[in-house]
């Protein structure tokens, strides 16, 4: 197997786990260390992407442009990527991000909505950026649908299309099936982004590489939404054990995870009841903090809210639905 291109997304996906509170100084420190470790790509933005600092998604403590500015200033030989979610971000944000010096735009949509991404891929290309398509909540659709959506993204200008396990709901067999089908359907690179709700983030990532994934993601210490992501340092260690040479300095990664990232954790990212329920029900990981707040407000079990969101097939961007679900569950409880 060839070595995949690894993107460390601590400074984007990890933002969810710390309520979007990364400081410019923290970003500069992590980026400089990742650059020292020869990390190919480093993703930096609000957890929900450019323009994501909103009342619905959660306000950033620090302006994300100051974070991107620090990332670009300290990137060394690495490339800086930012996430973009249509509807949260707009085309002017893409232009501005390019002017700030990012290298790659990762355009993320629900895995059946690739048809809304064309203008954003075109704008990114016009701005001189590399482009990645993110098919979120990929567990909700069969492989053939993902392949069709990936073809659309490729036709719009995506340099790579990711199968994204936003809920940590996939298992190795379903990862292999989806990645292999997408790989057979497009001529550009294929990527995979894992979450750890069922304890399979590393196993699923390896399954994706075995199925032909060219790019994969991780975060230091696994810091990310829900139960977190595939820990970058563990991923590199496992690839080393498999004699797959990434060129990344494992010692620097481990030191950075231990000394810089671990102290910012608000709570341990463990496979607790809420996180397992989120993966099992297939609920978008960034919902979890909102679910816990709603559960406390209405004196409900968080799992009950998670299960109902799963039954209603909630997707990214429907965070405001969480309160409605909690209110409905409380009303039913009161009439019993």
Q: Which residues are catalytic?
A: 16
Cα dist. 25→21, 215, 220 in Å? 11, 28, 17
**115 annotated ligand-binding residue:** no
Q: 257 by DSSP, 3-state: which?
A: helix
**Distance, CA of 85 to CA of 94 (rounded, Å):** 11
69, 47 contact by CB (below 8 A): no
Residue reference for tokens 């990344």: 248
Dihedral pair phi/psi, residue 160, rounded to 5° = -155, 145
Running DSSP on this structure, what letter comes out for residue 261? I
Which among 117, 60, 47 has a CA at the least distance from the CA of 87?
117
Q: Count CA within 13 A, CB hemisphere, residue 81.
A: 27
**166 annotated ligand-binding residue:** yes
**280 annotated ligand-binding residue:** no
Cα dist. 301→111, 309, 332 in Å? 29, 13, 14
**195 annotated ligand-binding residue:** yes
Residue reference for tokens 């323009």: 51
- 101: its two tokens: 């010096």
288, 316 contact by CB (below 8 A): no
- 118: its two tokens: 């064309």
Q: Report, in angstroms and rounded to the nearest whole number, the Rg of the chain calculated over CA atoms.
A: 19
**Distance, CA of 285 to CA of 209 (rounded, Å):** 23
**Distance, CA of 174 to CA of 142 (rounded, Å):** 9
**193 annotated ligand-binding residue:** yes
Q: What share of the chain is helix, strand, coil (3-state, %, to 5)?
A: 50, 15, 35
**12 annotated ligand-binding residue:** yes
**Distance, CA of 18 to CA of 219 (rounded, Å):** 13
Running DSSP on this structure, what letter comes out for residue 313? T
* Binding-site entries for Mn(2+): 13, 193, 195
* Binding-site entries for substrate: 12-13, 166, 193, 284
* Binding-site entries: 12-13, 166, 193, 195, 284
């Amino acid at each position: 197997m060839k070595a995949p291109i690894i993107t460390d997304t601590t400074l984007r996906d990890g933002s969810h786990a710390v309520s979007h509170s990364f400081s410019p100084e923290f970003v500069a420190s992590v980026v400089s260390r990742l650059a020292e470790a020869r990390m190919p790509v480093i993703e930096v933005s609000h957890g929900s992407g450019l323009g994501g600092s909103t009342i619905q998604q959660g306000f950033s403590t620090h302006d994300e442009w100051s974070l991107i500015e620090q990332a670009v200033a300290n990137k060394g030989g690495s490339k800086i990527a930012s996430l973009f979610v249509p509807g949260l971000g707009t085309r002017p944000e893409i232009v501005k991000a390019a002017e700030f010096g990012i290298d790659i735009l990762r355009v993320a949509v629900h895995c059946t909505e690739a048809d809304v991404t064309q203008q954003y891929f075109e704008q990114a290309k016009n701005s001189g950026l590399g482009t990645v398509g993110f098919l979120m909540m990929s567990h909700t659709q069969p492989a053939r649908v993902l392949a069709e959506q990936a073809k659309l993204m490729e036709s719009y200008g995506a340099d790579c299309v990711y199968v994204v396990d936003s809920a940590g709901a996939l298992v190795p067999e379903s990862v292999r099936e989806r990645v292999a089908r997408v790989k057979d359907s497009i001529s550009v690179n294929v990527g995979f982004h894992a979450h750890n709700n069922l304890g399979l983030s590393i196993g699923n990532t390896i399954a994706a590489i075995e199925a032909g994934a060219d790019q994969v993601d991780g975060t230091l210490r696994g810091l990310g939404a829900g139960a977190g992501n595939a820990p970058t340092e563990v991923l590199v260690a496992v690839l080393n054990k498999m004699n797959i040479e990434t060129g990344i300095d494992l010692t620097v990664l481990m030191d950075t995870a231990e000394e810089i990232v671990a102290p910012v954790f608000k709570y341990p990212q463990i496979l607790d009841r809420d996180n397992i329920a989120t993966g099992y029900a297939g609920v978008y990981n960034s919902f979890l903090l909102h679910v816990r707040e709603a559960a406390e407000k209405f004196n409900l079990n968080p799992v009950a809210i998670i299960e109902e969101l799963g039954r209603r097939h909630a997707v990214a961007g429907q965070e405001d639905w969480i309160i409605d679900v909690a209110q409905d569950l409380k009303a039913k409880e009161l009439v019993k």
